[in-house]
Amino acid sequence: MAAGETAGQLAKRLGRSPSTVSREIARNGGRDRYRAASADAIAYERGLRPKQARLAQGSALRALVEAKLALCWSPEQIAGWLRRQFPGDASM
């Protein structure tokens, strides 16, 4: 933007849709006030979860997942195992 490129030119160079780039610019102050560093910080804050993830809550689920990861199980293997071991239990 500092070089005077349009949103379309920026989008093409970044491999994004022009509408995506235009929304990003508008959401973060417009062409005159857009700053990449502050836009990145704001995007990070927008992406934060409103609540803690299940594994971050220190539950029995976390202990099971940690144990399986210690055995070098993949996340996919753990998820499949949990579905078979605890059918219908949404907390697991």
pLDDT in tens, 58-92: 789 999 999 999 999 999 999 999 999 999 898 88
CB atoms under 10 Å from CB of 48, counted, come to: 6
Residue bearing the bigger pLDDT, 1 or 64: 64
pLDDT at res. 48: 87
**Tokens found for residue 48:** 């934060």
* Nearest residue to 35 (alpha-carbon basis) of 25, 44, 45: 25
Full-model pTM: 0.52
* Nearest residue to 3 (alpha-carbon basis) of 13, 19, 43: 13
Positive or negative, the CA dihedral 70, 75, 76, 79 is positive
For residue 47, pLDDT over 90 is answered with no
* Nearest residue to 82 (alpha-carbon basis) of 63, 53, 51, 56: 63
pLDDT at res. 69: 97
Each residue's pLDDT tens digit, 23-43: 999 999 999 999 999 999 998
